[in-house]
C-alpha cells in the first residue's frame, strides 16, 4: 500500500511525511522536483520502506502517469507548488507552470489512473488538493472570516495560480467524477520552513542581529497555524472527508504581523538571550510594502470542526516555542539552505546581503 505525495521535500510536505511515517501508515512515494524550496535532507532519516523520493516534475506527464500505473497509490496528496507571494511578484511564470499546468497534469494522470481502478481500490482512492486561504482575497476589519462559500478573489499571482488549480480540481470532480477533496489552510509555521517566509526569516535575522523587515505598517493580519496541526487536519480529511467537498483549515491565532513578530522575538530572547539581556525589538525595521498586499485573512474552520472533529492542538505559545527551539537546534539545516540562490533572493527582495535584508525606509 502506498500513497503518492507531491512536493514532499518542502515545508509542509516534509512535516506531513514525517508524521505519516511515524504513525506507521502507508509507504510514501514522494515526487518532488527539488526546486530551491525542496530539500531531500528533510527526509533523509526515513528508511526506504517508509519513504521513497522520486526526483521529478509534476509537469512531466510520462513520469506522473507511470508512477501512478506502477505504484498504484491509494491516494494522492498534492502539495507541490511555487508557494511564496513575493517570488510570484518577481516571476509569476513559474507559478502558472507548476501550480496551474502542474496540477492539470496531475489531475489528468489521476483521471486515467482512476478509470483503470475497480472495486475497493476504486472506492478508496482519493485526490487531496492542498490549497490556501489566500484564494479568498483580503478581508476588511469587520468582515466575517472566510467560509468555504466565500467567493474566490485572489490578489497575487501566487493566490491566482492556486485558485486556478482549485477550480481545475473541482472541475475534475464535477465533470469526470474524480474523488477530489480540497483544503484551504491559513499561514503555517514550524520546522523545515524555508527562511524566505516571515517566521523563519525573522528567527534567523534575530539570531544574527540583522534587521527584521516589516512590510508597510505591519498591521496586516494573518491566521497562524502550527504545521503539525495542518498535517493532522489533512489526515482527517483524507480519512473521513466527504468527496467533492472543500474544507477550510485554520483557527489557530489571528494576529497582526507586528504581534507575531513580537511573540517570536520574545521567545528568541528567552531561549537565546543577548549577552546584555536587552530585547531584540530594536531590530524591527519598517520597509516598503508588498504590492497588492492583502490586509487581512481569517478562517472560519467551523465546517472541519463540526464534520471531522478537527481542533488545533497547539496554542500559539506552544507552536512558537517548538518552532524557535527547532531552528536553534537545527543550525546545520539552516546553513545548508542558506546557499547562493537564497542569498541572491534576499538581494533581489531586500536589496542587500542575505540574512541582512537592508531596510528600505518607508
Ligand atoms: P514549499 O515551497 O516549502 O515546498 C514546495 C515543494 O514543492 C518543494 O519541495 C518543491 O521542490 C516542490 N515543487 C515545486 N515545484 C515542483 C514541480 N514542478 N514538480 C514537483 N515538485 C515541485 O511549500 P509549502 O509551504 O510546503 O506549501 C505546500 C503546499 O501547501 C502548497 O501547495 C501551498 O500552496 C500550500 N499551503 C501553504 C501554506 C503555508 O503557510 N506555507 C498555507 C496553506 C497552503
Ligand atoms: P509570508 O510568510 O510571505 O506569507 P503570506 O504572504 O503567504 O501570508 O508573509 C506573512 C506576512 O508577513 C505577510 O503579511 C507579509 C509579511 N512579511 C513582512 O512583513 N516581511 C517579510 O520580510 C516577509 C517575508 C513577510
Which atom of ligand 1 is nearest to 31's Cα? 20
Ligand nearest to the CA of 288: 2
The yes-or-no answer on residue 172 being catalytic is no
Which candidate, 236, 196, 186, 187, places its Cα nearest to that of 19?
236
- Name the band, by pLDDT with cuts 50, 70 and 90, for residue 351: confident
Mean local confidence (pLDDT), 188-214: 97
Determine whether 123 is an active site residue. no
Q: Choosing from 134, 166, 229, 267, which is the catalytic residue?
A: 134
Residue 354 clears pLDDT 80, i.e. is over it: no
Residues contacting ligand 1 via CB (< 6 Å): 6-7, 9-13, 31-35, 37-38, 57-59, 79-83, 98, 102, 130-132, 162, 185, 187-188, 194
Q: Each residue of 105-122: pLDDT tens digit? A: 999 999 999 999 999 999
State the Cα–Cα distance between residues 340 and 321, nearest whole angstrom. Answer: 29
Show me where the domains of the chain are located. 2-192+225-252+297-314
Please say whether the beta carbons of 84 and 197 come within 8 A.
yes
> Which CATH code for domain 2-192+225-252+297-314?
3.40.50.720
pLDDT digits (tens, 9 = 90+) for 268-309: 999 999 999 999 999 999 999 999 999 999 999 999 999 999
Q: Phi/psi at 179 (nearest 5 deg)? A: -75, 75
Determine whether the shortest distance from the Cβ of 198 to ligand 2 is under 6 A: yes
Q: Of the ranges 182-196, 285-299, 325-339, which one carries the lowest mean pLDDT score?
A: 325-339
The residue nearest atom 25 of ligand 2, judged by CA position, is 198
C-beta 215 within 6 A of ligand 2:
yes
Please indicate whether residue 187, judged by its CB atom, sits closer than 6 Å to ligand 2: yes
Q: What confidence tens digit (pLDDT) does each residue in 265-279 have? A: 999 999 999 999 999
Decide if pLDDT at 104 tops 80: yes
Q: What is the pLDDT of residue 360?
A: 38
| CB-count exposure of residue 357 (10 Å: 0-12, 13-18, 19+) | buried
| Percentage of residues of the chain with pLDDT beyond 70 | 97
User: What mean pLDDT do residues 300-325 have?
Assistant: 98
Catalytic, out of 114, 136, 158, 226? 158
Q: How far is the CA of 82 from the centre of ligand 1 (A)?
A: 6
Q: Which tens digit of pLDDT belongs to each residue from 22-81?
A: 999 999 999 999 999 999 999 999 999 999 999 999 999 999 999 999 999 999 999 999
Share of the chain above pLDDT 90, in %: 93
Dihedral (CA of 260, 261, 267, 270) sign: negative
Answer whether residue 355 shows pLDDT above 70.
no
In ligand 2, the atom with minimum distance to the C-alpha of 199 is 2
Active site residue 158: yes
Residue among 37, 184, 222, 250 whose CB has most ligand 2 atoms within 8 A, to mutate: 222
Q: How far is the CA of 322 from the centre of ligand 1 (A)?
A: 22
Residue 352 pLDDT level (bands cut at 50, 70, 90): low
Q: Is the pLDDT of residue 362 over 70?
A: no
Q: Which ligand is nearest to the Cα of residue 217, counting in written order?
A: 2
Q: Which pLDDT value is given to residue 341?
A: 84
* All three cell numbers of 303: 465546517
Residues 215-230 pLDDT 10s: 999 999 999 999 999 9
Binned at pLDDT 50, 70 and 90, residue 356 comes out as very low
Q: According to the model, what pLDDT value does residue 61 have? A: 98
Q: Which ligand is nearest to the CA of 11?
A: 1
pLDDT, tens only, 229-248: 999 999 999 999 999 999 99
CA distance 355 to 342: 9
Q: What is the pTM of this model?
A: 0.97
The arithmetic mean of pLDDT across residues 181-209, rounded, is 97
Q: Is the CB of 188 under 6 A from ligand 2?
A: no
Q: Is 176 in the pocket of ligand 2 (CB under 6 A)?
A: no
Distance in angstroms (rounded) separating the CA atoms of residues 230 and 242 = 18
Ligand number, closest to the Cα atom of 346: 2
* List 32, 133, 223, 229, catalytic entry: 133
- Could you report the per-residue pLDDT of 125-166, keeping only the tens digit for each? 999 999 999 999 999 999 999 999 999 999 999 999 999 999
pLDDT at 361: 33
Q: How far apart are the CA of 70 and the centre of ligand 1, in A? A: 25
Does residue 201's CB lie within 6 angstroms of at least one atom of ligand 2? yes
* Mean predicted lDDT score pLDDT of the chain: 95
Q: pLDDT value at position 271? A: 98
Amino acid at each position: 500500500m502506498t500513497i503518492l505525495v507531491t512536493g514532499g521535500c518542502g515545508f509542509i510536505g516534509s512535516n506531513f511525511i514525517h508524521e505519516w511515517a511515524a504513525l506507521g501508515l502507508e509507504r510514501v512515494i514522494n515526487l518532488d522536483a527539488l526546486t530551491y524550496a525542496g530539500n531531500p535532507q528533510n527526509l533523509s532519516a526515513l528508511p526506504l520502506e517508509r519513504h521513497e523520493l522520486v526526483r521529478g516534475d509534476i509537469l512531466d506527464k510520462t513520469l506522473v502517469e507511470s508512477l501512478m500505473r506502477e505504484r498504484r497509490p491509494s491516494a494522492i496528496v498534492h502539495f507541490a507548488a511555487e508557494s511564496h507571494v513575493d517570488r510570484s511578484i518577481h516571476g509569476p511564470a513559474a507559478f502558472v507552470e507548476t501550480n496551474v499546468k502542474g496540477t492539470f497534469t496531475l489531475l489528468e494522470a489521476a483521471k486515467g489512473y482512476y478509470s483503470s481502478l475497480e472495486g475497493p481500490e476504486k472506492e478508496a482512492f482519493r485526490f487531496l488538493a492542498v490549497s490556501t486561504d489566500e484564494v479568498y482575497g483580503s478581508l476588511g476589519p469587520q468582515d466575517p472570516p472566510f467560509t468555504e462559500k466565500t467567493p474566490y478573489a485572489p490578489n497575487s499571482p501566487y493566490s491566482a495560480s492556486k485558485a486556478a488549480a482549485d477550480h481545475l480540481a473541482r472541475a475534475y470532480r464535477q465533470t469526470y467524477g474524480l474523488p477530489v477533496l480540497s483544503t484551504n489552510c491559513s499561514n503555517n509555521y514550524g520546522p523545515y520552513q524555508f527562511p524566505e517566509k516571515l517566521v523563519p526569516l525573522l528567527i534567523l535575522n534575530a539570531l544574527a542581529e540583522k534587521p527584521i523587515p516589516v512590510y508597510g505598517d505591519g498591521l496586516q493580519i494573518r491566521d497562524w497555524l502550527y504545521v503539525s496541526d495542518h498535517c493532522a487536519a489533512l489526515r482527517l480529511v483524507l480519512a473521513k472527508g466527504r468527496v467533492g467537498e472543500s474544507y477550510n483549515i485554520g483557527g489557530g491565532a489571528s494576529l497582526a504581523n507586528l504581534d507575531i513578530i513580537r511573540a517570536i522575538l520574545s521567545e528568541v530572547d528567552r531561549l537565546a538571550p543577548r549577552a546584555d539581556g536587552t530585547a531584540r525589538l530594536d531590530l524591527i525595521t519598517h520597509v516598503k510594502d508588498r504590492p497588492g498586499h492583502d490586509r487581512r485573512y481569517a478562517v472560519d474552520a467551523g465546517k472541519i470542526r463540526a464534520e471531522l472533529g478537527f481542533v488545533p492542538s497547539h496554542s500559539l505559545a506552544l507552536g512558537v516555542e517548538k518552532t524557535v527551539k527547532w531552528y536553534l537546534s537545527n543550525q546545520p539545516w539552516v546553513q545548508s539552505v542558506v546557499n547562493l540562490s537564497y542569498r541572491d533572493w534576499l538581494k533581489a527582495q531586500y536589496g542587500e546581503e542575505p540574512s541582512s535584508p537592508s531596510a528600505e525606509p518607508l
